[in-house]
Structure 1
Amino acid sequence: MKKLVLFFLCTHFYFYAFTQSNEEKKAVVKETALYKKVFTLDSALFAAYNSKNLAVMKTFFTKDLEWYQDNGGLIGFDQVFMNFQSIFNRDYTLTRSLIKETLEVHPIEGYGAIEVGSHQFKHIENGKLETGTFKFLMIWKNENGNWKISRVISYDH
């Protein structure tokens, strides 16, 4: 019986220590230059989105873009921007805001970074504020300091 109790105590402390180290890692990640760089890029991209500036938005994506959406499948660069134009042509303005506390940035050695988080889209429709919160993952490619998104996974719609 003592061995069983000892086993459970050791297991509990191991999982506690493991969880703490992961939380500390996430906190440290948010203080890195890479985190700040991707956060700044994300902010600039969605400032262009919120102002319906399609030309500026296009500069944030690679031409071989793959966009995976749980409720829409896989689409490429041209279709993505046709979809954005369709959104911008609506009678209401759809705005995006990052839920900053959900943002994670992880390096990809020799390539760029992974950005993961949640964001909200809001618009007024029929006099009522409509809000949707969704998850995303973006792969940022760094080519000699020129950062562009090459892959997007948009999910939890």
Structure 2
Amino acid sequence: MRRILLLLMLSALSATTARAQSTPRKAGPASPPPAAAPKPTTKDELYQTVARLDTEMFAAFNAHDVNKLMAYFADNVEFYHDKGGLSNFAQTKEGFARLFAQSPDITRTLVAGTLEVYPVKNYGAMHIATQRFCHLENGRQDCGNSKFVMVWQQQAGTWRITRVVSYDH
């Protein structure tokens, strides 16, 4: 069962090439950007901001809304997956769309007590935690945990993910 979950995640996040290439976003229905927020002034405010972004972003994941989910990623995102390799923006978007089509009941939750947030001077924040993905397989709930690091960049009050490292699958 865990193997199926891993295969689903690999399918969603695997790169089709060994190197990510910058791909501009194509015109289409505009998805709302992540909410602008004032620049946090303390570590606690930064933690709350990133915790809110995690909740919002994965609400889009759990709703299987690819466009809304991808609004949290920068055009130049690099997504490193320990099993799937390196993906750019377009490959990451394709992977999520494929995952949602192959596993329409997949959900993600943040494992309680694992969220860590660290400021990155003159850039944004690092977001480190353990997440749990679940889906039904043969009528039974199948779940697996993995760890991740996301680097968020704040520009003009907008937060976007520029790097993801997803590992321990």
Gaps of 5+ in 2: 1-42
**Structure 2 residue identity aligned to 1:39:** A
* TM superposition score normalised by structure 2: 0.73
User: What is the rounded CA distance, in whole Å, between the counterparts of 1:150 and 1:55 in structure 2?
Assistant: 17
Query: Which residue of structure 2 lines up, in the alignment, with residue 127 of structure 1?
Result: 139
Shift in Å, 1:128 = 1.3
Indicate whether 1:83 and 2:90 are aligned.
no
Q: CA RMSD in A?
A: 1.3
Counterpart amino acid of residue 95 in structure 1: T
The corresponding residue for 2:60 is 48
In 2, Cα distance between equivalents of 1:123 and 1:78: 25
Higher-Rg member (1/2): 1
Among candidates 116, 121, 143, match of residue 109 of structure 1: 121
Cα shift at 1:55: 1.2
Q: TM-score, normalised by structure 1?
A: 0.79
Deviation at 1:92, TM superposition (A): 3.7
In 1, the alpha carbon distance for the partners of 2:141 and 2:156 equals: 42
Counterpart code for 2:71: T
| Separation in structure 1 between the aligned mates of residue 67 and residue 81 of structure 2, nearest angstrom | 22
**Distance change >3 Å, CA 91–CA 117, structure 1 → 2:** closer
Counterpart of 2:159 (choices 147, 152, 155) is 147
How far did 1:91 drift? 4.8
Structure 1 consecutive aligned stretches of length 4 or more whose deviation exceeds 2 Å: none
Partner secondary structure for residue 113 of structure 2: helix
Answer with 87-96 or 129-138: which moved more.
Answer: 87-96
Q: Which has the higher contact order (CA 8 A, sep 6+)?
A: 2
Is the 2:103–2:135 Cα contact (8 Å) retained in structure 1? no
Give the equivalent residue in structure 2 for 1:60. Answer: 72
Q: Higher helix fraction: Structure 1 or Structure 2? A: 1
The one-letter code sitting in structure 2 at the alignment partner of 1:134 is S
Unaligned runs of 5+ residues in structure 1 are: 1-30
| Match of residue 7 from structure 1 | none
